[in-house]
Structures are given as structure tokens and as C-alpha cells.
Amino acid sequence: MALEITDANFDELVLKSDKPVLVDFWAEWCGPCRMVGPVVEELAKEFDGRAVIGKVDVDSNPEISMKFGIRNIPALLFFKNGEIVDKQIGAVPKSVLADKLSKQLA
């Protein structure tokens, strides 16, 4: 299952991770976010043990959202060694996200 990432645990779970990280910035009221949500959960299962997959509720965690300039959601940021290495704004097919994540594992 995708981890719940918050302002409080972001540094520990994302920036200090020794694995690639996919963070889904979303909100309950966002239609496209609800389309991406199940895809993110599937990726969490498929990449279990190889990558960290998490979700940030932008309404509950404004600090992280502002830090990374999240203006449009869903916004999916890919981190490696604490740095943003890729991003995807808006709903896309699962294969696009899986490909981007796989590149970070190489």
C-alpha cells in the first residue's frame, strides 16, 4: 500500500530514502486524482521493496506542497537520493509512471 506522507515525515520517508521514491500529491476533491489513486496503489504493490511509493494530501500538508511549488494536481514527483529527478503533472496511463519509476531503479 502507498504510504501516507505528511509534512512531519516527508524528510524521513522521501529525502533520506535509499530507494527511488514516487510521491503522489493529491486531494479528495480532485477528480483526476481519484483516477490516479488506484494506479499509485498498484505501483506500490509492484515495486514493493524496490521503491517507496507515497501520497501527500495537499489540503492536510500545505508545507510540502508549497516547498515543491505544487499548483496543479495530481502531481507525481520522482525522487532519488533526496533530489527530484522526474515529474508528471496530470493523470496518465500506469505504463508511463511505471516506466519513469523503472528508470530510477536502473
Catalytic residue (choose from 2, 21, 30, 75): 30
Q: Is 33 a catalytic residue?
A: yes
Burial class (CB in 10 A: 0-12, 13-18, 19+), 32: middle
Pinpoint the alpha helices (H) of the chain: 10, 31-46, 62-67, 94-105
| 20 tagged catalytic | no
Here the cell at position 23 is: 510521491
Please identify which of the residues 2, 33, 53, 75 carries the catalytic annotation.
33
Rounded to 5 degrees, φ, ψ at 78 are -110, 125
Tell me the catalytic residues: 30, 33
